[in-house]
């Protein structure tokens, strides 16, 4: 007896939508450190709904991309920029890179630093102010800081040379000093290793929760830097890996990202 095409389509649809049994091998998600809290909740929700285990590794996107290129096996890569996943795609690691969320750069300042959005550039240029950043090339947060320095140059000549020379690359690099046990990267502020720190606005909110005295200063439009986050699935990865990527893009996944201050996007198919 032959089944009708519509029946086969229906059976396939039911199979795809039904929660899968627990996979023997977990889906391996490599993701930017700025996504740790948000994607931690997203993956927990995914595991609960689909009964599929997800193994996560968070860190600077550039270092994660290099680890993948050096042979580490990841199924899904969620980067804090589009450049690193696009490099993997160009090398044949995966196919289409999809933007799945967006962030902004903010300034985190110690409580004694008198800084406003209007005075931000003059304070950054002040020779007495120590400006902390992440590490360019290894971590997109550092790259975005250097983009801000380039924008500053258009406002005041000489700004790029001053800011790029004085910037303290305190986090995100392969040789960056590690946070003491029980501390996060914001120990660099609580230990006064910098007076101000350029970071993602979502990170700034988390840092302020940890160190309430820290100030968050929004960057004005002339200097504003947006961060597009890219998602890619390894070519040949399991159906569960693609399913996880789709869940991150789904209204449920986007809602969780939004709750952490990320800019959400319409779900993409």
Domain limits of the chain? 23-102+228-259, 104-226
Question: CA 255 to CA 101: how far, in whole Å?
Answer: 11
What percentage of the chain reaches a pLDDT higher than 70?
Answer: 89
Look at residue 5 in the predicted model and tell me its pLDDT: 40
Look at residue 9 in the predicted model and tell me its pLDDT: 41
Mean pLDDT of all residues in 95-119: 96
Mean pLDDT of all residues in 171-198: 88
The DSSP string of the chain is: -PPPHHHHHHHHHHHHHSPPPPPSS-EEEEEEGGGHHHHHHHHHHHHHHH---EEEEEE-HHHHHHHHHTT---SEEEESSSHHHHHHHHTTSBS--EEEEEEEEEEEE-TT----TTTHHHHHH-TTPPEEEE-TTT-HHHHHHHHHHHHHHHHSTTHHHHHHHH-EEEESSTTPPPPPTT--TTHHHHTTS-SEEEEEHHHHHHHHHHSTT-EEEEPPTTT--EEEEEEEEBTT--HHHHHHHHHHHSHHHHHHHHHTTPBP-----
Span of 22-31, 76-85, 257-266 with lowest mean pLDDT: 22-31
Res 30 pLDDT > 60? yes
- Which fold does the domain 23-102+228-259 belong to in CATH? D-Maltodextrin-Binding Protein; domain 2 (3.40.190)
Instruction: Tell me the pLDDT tens digit for each residue of 225-251.
Output: 999 999 999 999 999 999 999 999 999
Q: Is residue 216 a contact partner of residue 111, using CB atoms and an 8 Å limit?
A: no
Look at residue 210 in the predicted model and tell me its pLDDT: 87
Look at residue 266 in the predicted model and tell me its pLDDT: 56
Instruction: Band the pLDDT of 139: cuts 50, 70, 90.
Output: very high
Superfamily of domain 104-226 in the CATH hierarchy: Periplasmic binding protein-like II (3.40.190.10)
Mean pLDDT of all residues in 139-145: 97
Look at residue 22 in the predicted model and tell me its pLDDT: 47
Mean pLDDT of all residues in 97-114: 96
Instruction: Tell me the pLDDT tens digit for each residue of 2-16.
Output: 434 443 343 333 334
Q: In terms of Cα–Cα distance, which of 232, 250, 238 is closest to 43?
A: 250
Res 21 pLDDT > 50? no
Look at residue 24 in the predicted model and tell me its pLDDT: 62
Confirm whether 23-102+228-259 and 104-226 share one CATH topology. Answer: yes
- The overall average pLDDT reported for the chain is 90
Look at residue 172 in the predicted model and tell me its pLDDT: 94
Look at residue 158 in the predicted model and tell me its pLDDT: 98
What percentage of the chain reaches a pLDDT higher than 90?
Answer: 81
């Amino acid at each position: 007896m032959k089944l009708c095409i519509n029946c086969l389509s229906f059976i396939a649809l039911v199979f795809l939508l039904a929660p899968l049994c627990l996979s023997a091998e977990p889906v391996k998600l490599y993701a930017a450190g700025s996504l740790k809290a948000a994607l931690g909740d997203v993956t927990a929700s995914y595991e609960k709904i689909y009964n599929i285990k997800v193994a996560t590794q968070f860190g600077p996107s550039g270092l994660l991309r290099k680890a993948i290129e050096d042979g580490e096996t990841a199924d899904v890569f969620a980067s804090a920029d589009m450049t690193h996943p696009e490099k993997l795609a160009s090398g044949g690691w995966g196919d289409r890179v999809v933007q799945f969320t967006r962030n902004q750069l903010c300034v985190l300042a110690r409580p004694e630093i008198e800084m406003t959005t209007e005075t931000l550039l003059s304070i950054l240029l002040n020779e007495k102010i120590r400006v902390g950043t992440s590490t360019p090339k290894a971590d997109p947060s550092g790259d975005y800081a250097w983009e801000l320095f380039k924008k500053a140059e258009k406002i005041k000549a000489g700004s790029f040379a001053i800011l790029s020379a004085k910037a303290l690359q305190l986090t995100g690099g392969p040789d960056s000093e590690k946070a003491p046990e029980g501390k996060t990267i914001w120990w660099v502020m609580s230990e006064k290793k910098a007076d101000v720190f350029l970071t993602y606005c979502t990170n700034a909110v988390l840092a302020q929760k940890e160190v309430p005295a820290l100030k968050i200063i929004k960057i004005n439009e002339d200097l504003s830097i947006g961060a597009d986050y890219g998602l890619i699935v390894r070519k040949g990865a399991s159906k569960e890996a693609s399913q996880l990527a789709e869940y991150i893009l789904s209204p449920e996944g986007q809602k969780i990202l939004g709750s952490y201050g990320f800019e959400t996007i319409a779900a993409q198919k």
